[in-house]
Amino acid sequence: MVTPRPIMPGATLGMLGGGQLGRMFTVAARTMGYRVLVLDPDPHSPAGAMADEHVHAGYLDTAALDRLAGECVAVSTEFENVPAEALARLARNCIVRPAGDAVSPTQNRLREKAFFDRHGLPTVPWAAVSTPADLKSALAAVGTPSLLKHAAGGYDGKGQALVDSPDGAADAFAALGEAECILERRVTLALELSVIVCRAVDGTVACYAPGQNVHVDGILSTTTLPAAIDAGMTARARTVAAATAEALGYVGVLGVELFVTGDDEILVNELAPRPHNSGHYTLDAAATTQFEQQVRLLCGFAPGAVDLLSPVAMVNLLGDLWRNGDPDWSRVFATPGAYLHLYGKREPRPGRKMGHINVLAADASTALERARALHAELAAP
Ligand code: AMP
């Protein structure tokens, strides 16, 4: 097979989706000398503000998609729920990475779990639930405690209910509108990790070191590196993440979320077919940022070095922090090793990701302690 020539700086790239991930891609791409077109319906889109051009249109607007495909050599995406039709239409006229086929299993939790099973990737016990009758058999197979989750459309812990008993399961299913769901065994988590995988067109894979994640109310709160795991666990996490990208035939940056159980077993929780929130530390503490990797891989180049340059903790800034007006950012600038990233979103709604701070320090626990203390100071009235 002849490897196509890489796409050189000066070319125009497209980004489907205009949120913070699209924004950080756009900044990286423009820094590297590419032009960027962003397609997003929101006139105040965070990525649109950084792009050479912002096409205000819906993701299924065929004229807008055709314009993107006509003007861009290659297009990437920043969110998994991009309509498959949009990717397919773009792919008729330009390079699309990751491809629709690789994104598809990540758009639905049932498809994703079936994909893990098919490829021998370890995951939690699960069963599909579409009707009250399914719920009974799913409970018999999975047991309790478990979690009932919407199969499609859920993110950041939304569309999920805890199930502690068979009676509770019926209530949970009703609360989720009896929509297509997945019942998952609730496993005891020793810790949560994620691995950002970079896979190039020729199959070359580079995995960043695993980040150690803490979620609060289902939303990522902090990521710390190096994770408090030994070399064996680090290698296993990287191996399973790389195997996942290979099984998908994936080209681009893939976020692989992992559970580590009380028995030190590694389970794949879910996939993000794009740079991941837990990879934002790379903006200040890695040899190459995950967004530069997205540009490199989209353009057909090899991944850049994935070395960690310093212990680091990333803390997310959610809209709740704005409850008393704008936080006093001078506290961040007064903290050595702390770096502020704000996404330019106008409305700080509770739970909305508005930005993050990376704190670099001599070791991971000091970095995390400082990041948490800084966050608490910013939250203080
Ligand atoms: P998800 O949206 O599925 O990634 O879930 C968000 C968070 O909920 C995860 O990062 C875990 O902290 C927790 N969680 C989700 N599924 C499970 C499970 N099957 N067992 C234990 N904890 C879970």
Listing DSSP states for 203-272 in one string gives --EEEPPPEEEEEETTEEEEEEES-S--HHHHHHHHHHHHHHHHHHT--EEEEEEEEEETT--EEEEEEE
83-109 mean pLDDT: 93
146-164 mean pLDDT: 86
| Residue 2 confidence (pLDDT) above 60 | no
pLDDT at 318: 98
165-174 mean pLDDT: 91
224-233 mean pLDDT: 98
pLDDT at 158: 76
pLDDT at 82: 86
- Residue with more model confidence, 2 or 13: 13
| Residue 210 confidence (pLDDT) above 80 | yes
- pLDDT-based confidence at residue 372 (cuts at 50, 70, 90): very high
pLDDT at 377: 96
86-111 mean pLDDT: 94
Query: Residue of the nearest CA to atom 23 in ligand 1?
Result: 186
Query: Residue of the nearest CA to atom 19 in ligand 1?
Result: 186
Count of other CB atoms within 10 angstroms of residue 369: 14
For residue 342, give the 3-state DSSP assignment.
strand
Query: Residue of the nearest CA to atom 9 in ligand 1?
Result: 218
C-alpha 369 to ligand 1 mean position (Å) = 24
C-alpha 218 to ligand 1 mean position (Å) = 7
**In angstroms, how far is CA 53 from the centroid of its own chain?**
25
39-55 mean pLDDT: 97
| Residue 56 confidence (pLDDT) above 80 | yes
| pLDDT tens, position by position, 284-318 | 999 999 999 999 999 999 999 999 999 999 999 99
| Whole-number average pLDDT of the chain | 95
d(Cα 89, Cα 360) in Å, to the nearest integer?
Answer: 43
Closest ligand 1 atom to residue 184 Cα is 19
pLDDT at 167: 87
User: Which of 259, 269, 271, 316 should be mutated for ligand 1, with most atoms under 8 A from CB?
Assistant: 269
Tell me which of 79-88, 211-220, 242-251 is least confident.
79-88
CB 181 within 8 A of CB 173: yes
The percentage of residues in the chain with a pLDDT greater than 90, rounded to a whole number, is: 94
Question: Mind giving me the DSSP string for 264-295?
Answer: --EEEEEEESS--GGGTTHHHHBSS-HHHHHH
146-171 mean pLDDT: 87
The torsion angles phi and psi of 285, rounded to 5 degrees, stand at -130, 15
Query: Residue of the nearest CA to atom 7 in ligand 1?
Result: 218
C-alpha 82 to ligand 1 mean position (Å) = 22
pLDDT at 334: 96
Closest ligand 1 atom to residue 124 Cα is 19
pLDDT at 3: 59
pLDDT at 25: 98
C-alpha 219 to ligand 1 mean position (Å) = 10
63-78 mean pLDDT: 97
Which tokens belong to 355? 């930005």
Say how many CA atoms lie within 13 Å of 174 toward its Cβ: 6
Instruction: Give me the sheet containing 74-77, strands edge to edge.
Output: 53-55, 35-39, 12-16, 74-77, 95-96
pLDDT at 157: 66
d(Cα 266, Cα 259) in Å, to the nearest integer?
Answer: 6
| Residue 132 confidence (pLDDT) above 70 | yes
Query: Residue of the nearest CA to atom 8 in ligand 1?
Result: 218
- Residue with more model confidence, 293 or 166: 293
Tell me which of 46-50, 149-153, 280-284 is least confident.
149-153
Tell me which of 167-176, 256-265, 267-276, 336-345 is least confident.
167-176
- Pocket of ligand 1, beta carbon within 6 A: 124, 147, 157, 184-187, 189, 192, 215, 218, 257, 269-270
User: Which of 80, 109, 147 should be mutated for ligand 1, with most atoms under 8 A from CB?
Assistant: 147
- pLDDT-based confidence at residue 146 (cuts at 50, 70, 90): very high
- pLDDT-based confidence at residue 196 (cuts at 50, 70, 90): very high
Which tokens belong to 27? 């900044």
